[in-house]
Structure 1
Amino acid sequence: MRKFFGKSIWNSFLILSVFIFGCTVQKSFLGKSGVNKNSDIIAIKYKANILESKNSYDLSGTIKIDNVNKSIFCNSVSSIYGIEVFRFIIRNDSLYYINRVKKEYYEGAISDFQQLNNATFSYSIIKACLLADFKEKNIIGDFKNLEPNNNIVFDSVVYNENGLAEEYLFENNQNGKIYFKYKGYFKRNGFPKILEILIKSNKNIFRIEIDYVSVLQGNDPIHLFTCPKNYTIIK
């Protein structure tokens, strides 16, 4: 199950985008009413709980989506130790990633990282799953184009009576099923309140619940970051 989107739990967490995340669900919305999914820069504060087997992790952090330059930034801080676990930037064709737990990093083409980690992801896929915005682009087509050997068995989007996505299901014949479930939306702008990600493979279940604490229209652009010299490059 750990290989569904990468070689480890942290790579899976990264690629799911979400990469991102507590125990208490926050229902308040702190954003401005003018924020929409096409704003130049969207800044999301989040809390998240990750559950794998009997292990549970609480994280929090920031996600930035730059619609102009087509890039996504995310960092995550452990609630137990108070330190940053990882951060990454995804662009159309490149990935910058630092894992501070393993003291390793990656800088290069997304396609190379996908081959190294048996991973399927892209800027458009991650943006769509984070914002429940599947109508903007053919996300299912993106998955099919990136998946090798025609491994896709089934995929679908379920909408509610208001035309908002409730669930996106993707099934792979080698690794199992992944569900993106959306629990409620903010009425003023259509952003999801809570995103739950379930990965089911055989008898294993990997779960992430992301609480969107605040959604703001940002004005701070996404900047590249430097990596400590003692970190090992992922090959």
Structure 2
Amino acid sequence: MNRAYAQPRRFRPAILATTAFVILLWWIKLFEIFWPMDLGFMGVHVGDLTGLWGILLAPLLHGSLEHLYSNTLPLLVLGSLLLYGYPRSWPWALGMIWLLSGAGVWLFAREATHLGASGLTHGIFFYLLVISIIRRDKRSIGLMMVGFFLYGSMLMTIFPRAPEVSFEYHFFGAVAGVLAAVLLFRRDPKPARKRYDWEQSDEQEDPVIGELWQDGGDDDSQRH
């Protein structure tokens, strides 16, 4: 199959899958608003056994429309880059980020209810960043450059900023993303390196020089 044709075909499913997940988040929030009901009790409640459910459910919930909106574009962009660039490792990476970020918040965060998908966005960003440093192939570096250009500020939002912002979810998402990158960087094969004609010609021995070299060697052996 033509590689130029295969790339868009693989990128479309990545965008569609990420868009479907974001739509699900919006439906959950709109349901919460128009029902009406407060689903905050499903977030991560630090140190509370009943809050363990939040490790699974908190990334699906948001405190406000503004909160959800702030996570929508990062999820669409970074999620699409993850699914497109790492088709074999993304389920494992996303699962690790989802679970470990929530577990870290449940164990070590401030006493509060923590929810939102920002742990996922930070985890994916740090996954793309670290795995590109480890792999150092053109595709990984290209994906990282896109993510860094748009969301490089996530390097700083893992630290405390405002009391109402769960920087802990950001921080533990980043930790999970780094860990996933270290463990999974071999799972996806590197793209084949394109070789140019001049590179191939350099590796091949010049037939004229080769013949002269052999003739010269024969002459020298006869002289001795």
TM-score range, shorter chain: under 0.3
Structure number with greater CO (CA < 8 Å, separation at least 6) is 1
More strand by share: 1
Which structure has the greater CA radius of gyration? 2
More helix by share: 2
Please report the TM-score for the alignment, with normalisation by the length of structure 1: 0.25
Please report the TM-score for the alignment, with normalisation by the length of structure 2: 0.26
